[in-house]
């Protein structure tokens, strides 16, 4: 689970506050020590950690809480606010100007995930109706242009490369006439060490040729104390305006990567959370901290749901719920939509309260496997069986479906039981407003 350890540690620190009888200097000292340790273990720059904890200490000792909240709540509020401040304050987005083309240049260390994230960004913006093209200027790493080409093809986006040419500037100029046909042009550059002089000279020249509207630094979540120096060097040479933190789906706590932003002034805009083109999340500091502290992240969940389910689908389904019409086809669609939102473990993390419930990882895996099986079972059903399962499904039909899907009849009955539970829930909710997306999100089996 993303950030599991850091989040457990921080939650423990906060628990100490809530269970303490009163707030005194010792409690604050303890809290500060705990915070320091968890932040350092999360690779946050040592200097930043001490700046932060000093600030928290100072505020906790000096500021008086407003009358409406208790001193304990106030302390948690200070921690929350300072963490949000450290992790980037507020959400900021890349503003795509309507010019042809809006140029984005990707830079970063070797193996940080530049090329992979180009395909993610391209997918993200093409979903939002921009016309995108990619340009491959990594002439150093073997087969880098081929990688960009293959990734672009997967998402149906044109890609300009020249595998013969070894001068990135020449390659860029070769296709210059084409660029005006696109809204956004994303340029891949070679991975480099930001402290190596000749590589930096190359990127500087590239930058002055391309004149990018946006320079995005891709930085890996597991980078340690080197993060700050690297980010600052990239900032100096190519004026980085945005940051994407990659590999957030691992166990790394990304403290180094996220706070590196603080030292450059550039903002973290996206998080990479997987290997597929869809595995990109907007980065919103408040939500991120909420998730860290176990307060849940409904907004990200809703955003994902929105992408997974079109508005119209949602309305249709809403109406059906209202009428109490709900059949296996709807359940199927619901499962499909959930699949698009990602693995259950990720979805669960974002639901307020759920992240604090210690659901065993295995249990979620079992649930995920079940969903897979149910989909297979439903694929083996006839249209009639899907539309009116209550009327037609008898032992004989179940035996047939079991044969067709390769599942045992117990598993088919399990599915039917689940279907009935969801249907019952839907009926119970009839009174509420059907348009609310959350209703659709009721997780099957939870």
Partner 1 sequence: MFNFLKDKLKDAVDKVGEKIKKEEEPIEDTPIVKEKVKEKKEEVKKEFEKEKLHEEIEDKGFLKQIKEKVTTKKISEEKFEDLFQDLELALLENNVAVEVIDKIKSDLKNDLVDNPLSRKNIEEQIKTSLNKSISSLFGNFPDILDKINKKPFVICFVGINGSGKTTNLAKVTNYLQKNKKSCVLAAADTFRAASIEQLQIHADKLDVKLIKHTYGSDPAAVAFDAIKYAKANDIDVVLIDTSGRLHSNENLMAELKKITRVADPDLTIFVGEAITGNDAVEQAKTFNEQIGLDGIILSKQDIDEKGGAAISISYITKLPILFIGVGQELDDLEQFNKDKILQQLGLE
The piece of 252-260, 305-313, 322-330, 430-438 that touches partner 1 (CB under 8 A) is: 252-260
CB-count burial class (<10 Å; 0-12, 13-18, 19+) for 311: exposed
Q: What is residue 66's DSSP assignment?
A: P
Contact between 41 and partner 1 per CB under 8 A: yes
Report the distance separating Cα 389 and Cα 328, nearest Å.
7
The piece of 14-22, 139-147, 308-316, 369-377 that touches partner 1 (CB under 8 A) is: 139-147
CB-count burial class (<10 Å; 0-12, 13-18, 19+) for 126: middle
Report the distance separating Cα 205 and Cα 242, nearest Å.
20
Determine the size of the site formed for partner 1 (CB under 8 A). Answer: 47
The piece of 66-74, 143-151, 349-357, 433-441 that touches partner 1 (CB under 8 A) is: 143-151
Contact between 221 and partner 1 per CB under 8 A: yes
What are the b/e assignments for 362-395, b being 16+ CB within 10 Å?
A: eebeebeebbebbbbbbebbeeebbeebeeebee
Which one, of 36, 26, 29, 24, lies nearest residue 71 by Cα?
24
The piece of 33-41, 312-320, 350-358, 394-402 that touches partner 1 (CB under 8 A) is: 33-41
Contact between 208 and partner 1 per CB under 8 A: no
- Least distance CB 4 / partner 1 (angstroms): 9
Report the distance separating Cα 389 and Cα 302, nearest Å.
30
Nearer to partner 1, 205 or 251 (CB): 251
Contact between 372 and partner 1 per CB under 8 A: no
Report the distance separating Cα 156 and Cα 150, nearest Å.
10
Nearer to partner 1, 190 or 386 (CB): 190
Report the distance separating Cα 353 and Cα 96, nearest Å.
36
Nearer to partner 1, 118 or 426 (CB): 118
Nearer to partner 1, 93 or 275 (CB): 275
Contact between 42 and partner 1 per CB under 8 A: yes
Which one, of 222, 161, 153, lies nearest residue 189 by Cα?
161
- Least distance CB 429 / partner 1 (angstroms): 35
Which one, of 200, 191, 189, 255, lies nearest residue 228 by Cα?
255
Query: Out of 20, 76, 155, 195, which residue is the one contacting partner 1 (CB under 8 A)?
Result: 195
Contact between 367 and partner 1 per CB under 8 A: no
Nearer to partner 1, 120 or 423 (CB): 120
Report the distance separating Cα 154 and Cα 120, nearest Å.
11
Cβ atoms of residues 380 and 404 within 8 Å: yes
Nearer to partner 1, 111 or 432 (CB): 111
Contact between 43 and partner 1 per CB under 8 A: yes
Contact between 82 and partner 1 per CB under 8 A: no
Nearer to partner 1, 257 or 412 (CB): 257
CB-count burial class (<10 Å; 0-12, 13-18, 19+) for 55: middle
β 102-108/184-188 pair status? parallel
Q: First-to-last CA distance in the chain? A: 18
Q: Can you read off the two tokens belonging to residue 237?
A: 């040479």
Show contacts with partner 1 in window 96-135 (CB under 8 A).
Answer: 109-113, 115-116
Contact between 306 and partner 1 per CB under 8 A: no
Nearer to partner 1, 116 or 402 (CB): 116
Query: Out of 213, 249, 297, 385, which residue is the one contacting partner 1 (CB under 8 A)?
Result: 249
- Least distance CB 191 / partner 1 (angstroms): 8
- Least distance CB 24 / partner 1 (angstroms): 22
Nearer to partner 1, 334 or 355 (CB): 355
Contact between 222 and partner 1 per CB under 8 A: yes
DSSP 78-93: HHHHHHHHHTTSS---
Show contacts with partner 1 in window 146-185 (CB under 8 A).
Answer: 146-151, 154
| Chain positions contacting partner 1, by CB under 8 A | 37, 40-43, 46, 109-113, 115-116, 140-144, 146-151, 154, 193, 195-196, 220-227, 230, 247, 249-253, 255-256, 275, 365
């Amino acid at each position: 689970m993303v950030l599991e350890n850091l989040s457990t540690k921080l939650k423990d620190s906060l628990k100490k506050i809530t269970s303490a009888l009163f707030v005194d200097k010792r409690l604050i000292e303890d809290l500060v020590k705990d915070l320091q340790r968890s932040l350092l273990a999360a690779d946050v720059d040592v200097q930043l950690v001490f700046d932060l904890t000093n600030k928290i200490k100072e505020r906790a000792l000096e500021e008086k809480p407003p009358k409406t909240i208790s001193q304990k709540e106030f302390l948690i509020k200070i921690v929350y606010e300072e963490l949000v401040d450290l992790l980037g304050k507020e959400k900021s987005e890349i503003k795509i100007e309507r010019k042809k083309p809006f140029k984005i240049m990707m830079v970063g260390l070797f193996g940080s995930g530049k090329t992979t994230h180009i395909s993610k960004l391209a997918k993200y913006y093409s979903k939002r109706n921009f016309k995108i093209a990619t340009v491959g200027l990594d002439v150093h790493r073997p087969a880098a242009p081929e990688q960009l080409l293959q990734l672009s093809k997967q998402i149906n986006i044109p890609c300009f490369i020249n595998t013969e040419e070894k001068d990135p500037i020449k390659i860029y100029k070769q296709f210059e006439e084409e660029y005006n046909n696109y809204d956004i042009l994303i340029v891949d550059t070679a991975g480099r060490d930001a402290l190596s002089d000749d590589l930096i000279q190359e990127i500087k020249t590239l930058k002055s040729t391309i004149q990018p509207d946006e320079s995005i630094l891709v930085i890996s979540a597991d980078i340690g104390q080197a993060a700050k120096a690297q980010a600052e060097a990239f900032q100096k040479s190519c004026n980085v305006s945005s940051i994407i933190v990659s590999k957030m789906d691992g166990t790394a706590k990304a403290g180094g990567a996220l706070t590196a932003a603080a030292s450059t002034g550039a903002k973290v805009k996206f998080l990479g959370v997987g290997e597929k083109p869809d595995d990109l999340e907007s980065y919103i500091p408040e939500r991120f901290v909420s998730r860290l502290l176990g307060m849940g992240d409904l907004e990200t969940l809703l955003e994902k749901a929105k992408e997974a389910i079109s508005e119209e689908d949602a309305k249709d389904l809403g109406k059906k719920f209202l009428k109490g019409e709900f059949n296996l086809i709807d359940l199927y669609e619901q499962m499909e939509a959930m699949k698009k939102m990602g693995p259950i473990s990720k979805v669960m993390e974002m639901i307020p309260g759920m992240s604090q419930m210690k659901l065993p990882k295995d249990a979620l895996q079992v649930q995920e496997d079940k969903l897979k099986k149910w989909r297979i079972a439903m694929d083996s059903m006839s249209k009639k069986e899907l539309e009116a399962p209550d009327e037609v499904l008898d032992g004989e039909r179940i035996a047939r479906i079991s044969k067709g899907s390769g599942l045992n009849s117990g598993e088919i009955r399990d599915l039917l039981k689940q279907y009935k539970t969801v249907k019952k829930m839907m009926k119970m909710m009839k009174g509420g407003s059907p348009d609310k997306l959350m209703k659709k999100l009721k997780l099957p089996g939870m």
